[in-house]
A = this chain, B = another copy of it.
Amino acid sequence: MKAGTDLAQIASLVGDPARANMLAALMGGTALTASELAMEAGVTLPTASAHLARLSDGGLLRMTRQGRHRYYALAGHQVAGMLESIMGVAAELGPRKVLPGPRDTAMREARICYDHLAGEAGVAMFDAFAARDLIAIEGDEVNLTTRGAIYFSGFGLDIEAMLEKRRPVCRSCLDWSVRRSHLAGSLGAGLLDRFIALRWVRREKDSRVIRFTPPGRTAFEKLLREA
C-alpha cells in the first residue's frame, strides 16, 4: 500500500497530458523556459506555471533563474530513465494501427536521450567501444579502461575533469527503440557535445531527432571501425 501510494504520486505527475508534453520536450536535454514549455504543452502561461510548480515540488524538475527567465530541466538521469521506460511501454502497446512514419524512423536511427546519443547509432557506438576495449562492461557497470581514457582524450574530451565529478563517467542506458544499451554518463554526454562541435551531427529543431551530416556520417563510421 505504501508502495502503491509512492507509485501513484510520481505517475500522476506524468499522467497529465500537459505535463507529459513538457517532460517529453525536456527529454531533449536542453533546459527550457516556462513560456517555451507552455507553448510545447499547448496551454496558457498561468496553467503552465502551475504545472511546473507541481513538477518541481514533486522532484521531477530542477529550476534555475536567469534574469527574468526561469529555466526548467529534468531533475536527473533517473527521471529521464523512468520516462524512457514509460515511453517503451507506450511504444510496445501503441502501434496497434500506425506503422512507423519517417519521423519515427529518424528517431530510431539517432536521437538525443537527455544529453547523449541514443538510437541505432548510439547502440552501434556502445558496441564498438566495448569491442575495442575502450570501455569495460562488468555486470551492470560500465567503466572506462586506460586505453579508453587515452583514446577519448585524444578525441578532444577532458577525461580528467569527468573523473573528478560525482557523475559516473560511463553508464549504460537501455534504448526503447532497439532494446539494447547505449552509452550514457559524462562520457556519453561529452561525445555528443563533441560530435555537435565537429559538425558531425545536427539537432533537428523542436525534436529529439539527430541528423548526421554527410561528412559526419563518414567520420562517425570511421570512428567506430578504427576506434
Residues of A that sit less than 8 Å from B by CB: 1, 3-17, 19-25, 27, 40-42, 58-60, 78-79, 81-83, 85-94, 126-127, 130, 137-141, 172, 174, 179-181
Rounded to whole angstroms, the CA-CA distance of A180 and B168 in the bound complex is 14
Rounded to whole angstroms, the CA-CA distance of A151 and B89 in the bound complex is 34
Q: Are A16 and B12 neighbours in the complex by a CB distance under 8 Å? A: yes
Residues of B within 8 A of A13 (CB): 11, 15
Q: Are A8 and B4 neighbours in the complex by a CB distance under 8 Å? A: no
Q: Are B4 and A21 neighbours in the complex by a CB distance under 8 Å? A: yes
Rounded to whole angstroms, the CA-CA distance of A13 and B11 in the bound complex is 8
Rounded to whole angstroms, the CA-CA distance of A13 and B89 in the bound complex is 12
Q: Are B3 and A8 neighbours in the complex by a CB distance under 8 Å? A: no
Q: Are B3 and A87 neighbours in the complex by a CB distance under 8 Å? A: yes
Q: Are A15 and B11 neighbours in the complex by a CB distance under 8 Å? A: yes
* Least CB distance, A153 to chain B, in whole angstroms: 24
Q: Are A88 and B93 neighbours in the complex by a CB distance under 8 Å? A: no
Residues of B within 8 A of A82 (CB): 85-86, 88-89
Rounded to whole angstroms, the CA-CA distance of A4 and B51 in the bound complex is 14
Residues of B within 8 A of A59 (CB): 89, 92-93
Residues of B within 8 A of A92 (CB): 59, 78
Residues of B within 8 A of A27 (CB): 3
Q: Are A19 and B24 neighbours in the complex by a CB distance under 8 Å? A: no
Q: Are B17 and A14 neighbours in the complex by a CB distance under 8 Å? A: no
* Least CB distance, A67 to chain B, in whole angstroms: 28
What are 16 A-B contacts with C-beta separation under 8 Å?
A4-B41, A5-B17, A6-B94, A7-B23, A8-B17, A8-B20, A10-B86, A10-B93, A11-B14, A12-B12, A58-B93, A60-B89, A78-B88, A139-B180, A140-B172, A140-B180
